[in-house]
């Protein structure tokens, strides 16, 4: 693994941010995004640590979440095999009239896992700084909406931590229906992993 030079990492991030703010072409911005993500991740697959056949993968697919396509925290370096696993079964434009992941393209469990291992990797390498792994407020709001939470629902931690915490919680409608069917009610705030806030009616 090649540990990144922080000064060079900041320089690559600045080039990405400048390209986006200046409205450069999508392909140019994506090239800067990919370069930053692969360098930040030590030029190896974050999942299996393979060093060959690497690509910067969008965790939240850009066809669904275009605001996330240049977010540092929406990218993770994967090898060819791990990348292929993320796109197997369905890798085309989804039918937007269907519920999210109805066609199996978003793979919400995979998204949760990738956000989680990316965060763990950042902590282990002492790189858990928000600019290097940031997700925009728009993206966090989209994830909350996907799970039935209001925009002001509170999830703790950095934007990257919030992303995998949101995906780790049960969808609100499903949660409320299951609890109601068993004679329980729940507060407005999400039930975070490892916590419980249910009350018998």
Closest CA relative to residue 77, chosen from 122, 108, 109, 107: 122
Average pLDDT, the chain: 83
Instruction: Give the position of tokens 């995906």.
Output: 167
Domain count, the chain: 1
Q: What is the pLDDT of residues 13-69, one digit of tens each?
A: 999 999 999 999 999 999 999 999 999 999 999 999 999 999 999 999 876 678 899
Domain that holds residue 111: 14-91+104-168
Closest CA relative to residue 12, chosen from 31, 44, 28, 35: 35
| Rounded Cα gap, residues 80 and 84, in angstroms | 6
| Rounded Cα gap, residues 110 and 107, in angstroms | 5
| Rounded Cα gap, residues 148 and 144, in angstroms | 6
| Domain-embedded: residue 73 | yes
| Domain-embedded: residue 183 | no
pTM of the model: 0.80
Q: What is the pLDDT of residues 117-144, one digit of tens each?
A: 999 999 999 998 899 999 999 999 989 9
CA angle 42, 35, 19 (to 5 degrees): 140
| Domain-embedded: residue 194 | no
| Domain-embedded: residue 36 | yes
| Domain-embedded: residue 196 | no
Strands (E) in the chain, as ranges, are 55-58, 75-78, 184-186, 198-200
- With pLDDT > 90 as the criterion, what percentage of the chain qualifies? 55
| Rounded Cα gap, residues 74 and 69, in angstroms | 7
| Domain-embedded: residue 112 | yes
| Domain-embedded: residue 151 | yes
* Half-sphere exposure at residue 155, Cβ-oriented, CA atoms within 13 angstroms: 25
| Domain-embedded: residue 83 | yes
| Rounded Cα gap, residues 40 and 44, in angstroms | 10
């Amino acid at each position: 693994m090649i540990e990144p030079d922080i000064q060079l990492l900041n320089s690559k991030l600045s080039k990405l941010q400048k390209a986006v703010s200046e409205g450069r072409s999508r392909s140019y911005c994506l090239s800067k995004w990919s370069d930053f993500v692969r360098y930040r991740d030590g030029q190896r697959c974050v999942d299996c640590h393979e060093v060959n056949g690497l690509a910067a993968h969008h965790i939240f697919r850009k066809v669904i979440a275009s605001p996330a396509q240049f977010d540092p925290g929406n990218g993770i370096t994967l090898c060819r095999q791990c990348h292929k696993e993320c796109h197997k079964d369905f890798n085309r434009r989804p039918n937007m009239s269907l519920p999210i992941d109805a066609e199996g393209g978003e793979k919400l469990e995979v998204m949760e896992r990738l956000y989680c291992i990316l965060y763990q990797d950042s902590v282990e390498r002492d790189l858990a700084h928000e600019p290097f792994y940031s997700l925009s407020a728009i993206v966090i709001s989209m994830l909350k909406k996907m799970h039935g939470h209001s925009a002001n629902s509170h999830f703790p931690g950095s934007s990257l931590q919030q992303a995998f915490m949101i995906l780790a919680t049960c969808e609100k409608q499903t949660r409320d229906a299951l609890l109601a069917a068993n004679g329980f009610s729940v507060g407005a705030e999400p039930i975070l992993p490892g916590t419980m806030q249910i009350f018998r009616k």
